[in-house]
Amino acid sequence: MTVTTPTLSTNEIDEAFLRIKDTVKTTPLERDHYLSLKYQCNVYLKREDLQWVRSFKLRGAYNAISVLTTEQQAQGITCASAGNHAQGVAFTARQLNLNAVIFMPVTTPNQKINQVKFFGDTNVEIKLIGDTFDDCLKEALHYTEKHQMTFIDPFDNLYTIAGQGTIAKEIINQAHDNQIEFDYVFGAIGGGGLMSGVSTYFKAYSPSTQCIGVEPLGASSMFQSVSQNRIVRLENIDKFVDGASVAKVGALTFNICKNFIDDYVLVDEGAVCSTILDMYSKQAIVAEPAGALSVSALEHYKEQIKGKTVVCVISGGNNDINRMKEIEERSLLFEEMKHYFILNFPQRPGALKQFVNDVLGPDDDITKFEYLKKASQNTGTVIIGIQLKYHHDLEQLKANINQFDTKNIYINENKMLYSLLI
């Protein structure tokens, strides 16, 4: 297939910068002491989690809406989003005093719905429709056509991409002021709008900088598409990294990324959780899963970046506090610190004490103990969760459990069983 030239120019990013500069916050570019020490290089963070709506999405939404004609603005705007794009559209609608109808899946957490209401106030109407984003999008497009409104695409729109590209313009300006030259820029890819804009600008004004796109392992739609040189729709995706879990990337973003992105890193969702917790405890940064992707990628690049200067775009900080328990759980599973088993437990006094003494190590802890059923008068089926202090103790734990019950089931290796029982 012939590689075509991307349709986005740096002039359009420069024009977008002028449109949004009085409304969108210029976010800090900060050298991170902890990450710099950890990876033996200079790590800078572009703090889009400190944007007005706590994500970069405001840039693209504001730019795409502000270029509409007076007639189009008067007719109103729509979008379909379960998160940050919706907040960006809502904020813009209120700033420009436009009517906006925002479609969100019925399954959207209340925290996100409330944030859209807060930013949009009376300028925004929220419609909760469909169990999935695809159902929601279908209704949004139908409604848009019926009411002759303008749909604001979250990533496959030239003006949206140009707005996201203003992040790169800010980074390069801030780096120039401090006499910094970046060897690498890491940024999340969902639909591809962020890194399409960022890579376009970097390749023009800092061509030696390597542009690295970072995707969740369970939703690597851009990597799969570029690898096959065609847009691929993923049938099943892991939606945990909700801000970057997209089944199908845009035509515009695909075209730009396959030309300008130098490499892709696929990050396990569990590793993202570990990064979120690490950033919170070590740097007091509250990053959402998509916002932590760029930092998670540093572990994959730790040899290449030694002695180099890199920048990670922290793309968002809209993390629902109610998810922290799940984030901690996923992190412990990824780090091989928490393990679940189904055991046949003897139905006699002292059985649990024997298990603790004979199976558990001195630093192991039981975090879950639940009877599923009594299999017979002599045994009962039990789910047991064990947290280790050191992941290398796992093999000894497994050996001890096999001696206790030769027919045990290790739940961690069975995702369906884990989702059903844990």
- pLDDT for residue 376: 66
- pLDDT for residue 1: 37
**pLDDT value at 415 more than 50:** yes
Question: For strand 309-314 and strand 42-47, is the pairing parallel, antiparallel, or unpaired?
Answer: parallel
Would you say domain 59-151 falls under CATH 3.40.50.1100?
Answer: yes
Cβ(209)–Cβ(202) below 8 Å = yes
Give φ, ψ of 421 to 5 degrees. -100, -30
pTM of the predicted structure, to 2 decimals: 0.92
For 336-421, the fitting CATH number among 3.30.70.260, 1.10.630.10, 3.30.360.10, 3.40.50.300 is 3.30.70.260
Q: Average model confidence (pLDDT) for the chain?
A: 94
Architecture of domain 10-56+161-328: 3-Layer(aba) Sandwich (3.40)
**pLDDT value at 244 more than 50:** yes
Average pLDDT value for residue range 243-257: 94
Pairwise CA distance, residues 337 & 109, whole Å: 29
Q: Write out the two tokens for 99.
A: 């009517």
- pLDDT for residue 320: 84
Note whether 10-56+161-328 and 59-151 share their fold. yes
Min mean pLDDT across 64-73, 125-134, 324-333, 387-396 is at: 125-134
- pLDDT for residue 334: 96
* Helices 158-177, 193-205: inter-axial angle, 10-degree rounding: 50
Segment 51-75, tens digit of pLDDT: 999 999 999 999 999 999 999 999 9
The ranges assigned to domains in the chain are 10-56+161-328, 59-151, 336-421
Residues 6 or more apart in contact with residue 166 via CB below 8 angstroms = 13, 16, 17, 20, 24, 59, 63, 197
